[in-house]
Amino acid sequence: MSADYRPEAEVVEVCQQLIRIDTSNFGPEPGPGERVAAERVAELLDEVGIASELLEPEPHRTSVVARWVPEGVDMSLPALLVHGHLDVVPAHADDWSVPPFSGEIVDGCVWGRGAVDMKDFDAMVLSVIRARARAGAAPRRPIRLIFTADEEAGAGLGARWLIENRRDVVEGCEEAIGEVGGFSLTVRDDLRLYLIQTAEKGMAWLKLIAEGRAGHGSVRHHENAITQLSAAVARIGAYNWPRKITDPQRAFLEAVAEAFEVDLDPDHPEQTLDRLGSIARMVGATMSNTANPTMLSAGYKHNVVPGRATAGIDGRFLPGSEDEFYATITDLIGDDVRYEIIAHHPSVETEFSGALVEAMQASLEAEDPGARAVPYIFSGGTDGKAWHRVGIRCFGFAPLRLPPDLDFVGMFHGVDERVPTESLEFGARVLDRFLDQA
């Protein structure tokens, strides 16, 4: 490999390019789609001799699939799936300090929607793959690249559609890396924990429905749908879900306790979480099931009692706790309200062990001697849920060494989303080393 080989050379520029392509996902509402971004990704791959396929279940809702099997890979090994999504959640420019689709570099960071979730990792992958292809540097094993549409709205037009209609795109893959993991948590100058996602909570989006008797607003109504629904929503919102520490959560808490040299009290883990700063909120959400009211709809006129009222609930359940979650919801809503499941994704979990995990630790440590990889469970969801359906072990490994004072987790779906340029370059170098060992 030549002395001027730099896997990080293009990562900042590619990240800027992708951010400047608006791929806002408005769910069921029309949006720009991912087509333009997918075409740019395909161009970047084609420039270095990697052919790709664009797949669209609907116009402009585009995913990119490529197989990279250069001379020198170990064909006896299964392909590694490296995946990222191209869509982003919407951004309102008036709320931002820097225009959200500008990709500007300010204060040493690339700013814009997707800088954290997850065009940063897309750019790392493309920068590394392009550098390797130009240099003739084969990875250890074949690589399957997938850049999906629609992750931010449940993946029905992206990863889930691929599994249901083009399962061949992941045929032969047994392991995968993607979001959300690999970012650092600084303990002290010589120690940083890098959080590797090994599990995700399941998701249940529920529609609560109360039906009563419509009538005039000036008289008493004992079958008021709004009253019935409001009581159920209030009970769900106020419910204190019992704490449950899963195996990956326990491993994470034990690693944090050891790093900070404190004793872990399983009955009062908040004392350990208090050490984590801004990340504590996300980690805390993985210590129980959760259900948050997010939408309400009822009525059309002040003097008319409606016969129907509905509410939206965002429910998340831990691995092994799905039945308990639904039983609790049934108890909380009572006999006067029912629910429908609008969207459902199972929880997923894999062990923090094996050669792939060892490669993560080794590649991190080579670029940061103070690195220590630790497992954690993610409170949200990723495309990993779709790949898990066909037996692929999924890890969140998008490596970033972050400044200690950067509220990285708070920028997921937040305003002023940004990623340090040095973190992007670090991530590209780590990913490059990882592909030699994975």
Q: What is the mean pLDDT of residues 117-140?
A: 97
| Helix axes 119-135 and 35-46, enclosed angle (nearest 10) | 20
Q: 299-317 pLDDT, tens per residue?
A: 999 999 999 999 999 999 9
What is the CA angle 142-145-148, rounded to 5? 160
Q: What is the mean pLDDT of residues 350-373?
A: 96
HEC readout, 267-280: CCCHHHHHHHHHHH
pLDDT at 338: 97
Res. 261: pLDDT tops 90: no
Neighbour-count burial for 392-414, b at 16+ CB within 10 Å, e otherwise: bbbbbbbbbbbeeebebbbbeee
Q: 219-238 pLDDT, tens per residue?
A: 888 889 999 999 999 999 99
pLDDT at 258: 85
Q: Which of 407, 397, 400, 408 is nearest to 426 (CA)?
A: 400
CATH 3.40.630.10 domain position(s) in the chain:
11-186+349-437
| Helix axes 421-437 and 119-135, enclosed angle (nearest 10) | 50
pLDDT at 248: 78
Q: Which of 314, 254, 245 is nearest to 284 (CA)?
A: 245
Q: What is the mean pLDDT of residues 41-62?
A: 98
Q: Which position has the token pair 């808490």? A: 253
HEC readout, 297-318: EECCCCCEECCEEEEEEEEEEC
CA distance 7 to 398: 15
Distance of CA 395 to the CA centre of its chain: 11
3-class DSSP state of 394:
strand
Supply 33's token pair: 């789609």
Domain at 200-345: CATH code: 3.30.70.360
Task: Write out the DSSP string of 61-123.
Answer: EEEEEEEE--TTS-TTSPPEEEEEE--B----GGG-SS-TTS--EETTEEESTTTTTTHHHHH
pLDDT at 257: 81
Res. 274: pLDDT tops 80: no
CATH of 11-186+349-437, one of 3.40.1000.10, 3.40.630.10, 1.10.630.10, 3.40.50.1000: 3.40.630.10
Task: Write out the DSSP string of 167-224.
Answer: GGGGTT--EEEESS--EEEEEETTEEEEEEEEEE-EEEEEEEEEE---EETTS--SS-
Q: What is the DSSP letter of 144?
A: E
CA distance 409 to 193: 15
CATH 3.30.70.360 domain position(s) in the chain:
200-345
Q: 75-123 pLDDT, tens per residue?
A: 999 999 999 999 999 999 999 999 999 999 999 999 999 999 999 999 9
Give the strands of the sheet with 418-420, arranged side by side.
105-106, 109-111, 418-420
Largest distance between two CA atoms of the chain: 84
Q: What is the DSSP letter of 346?
A: -
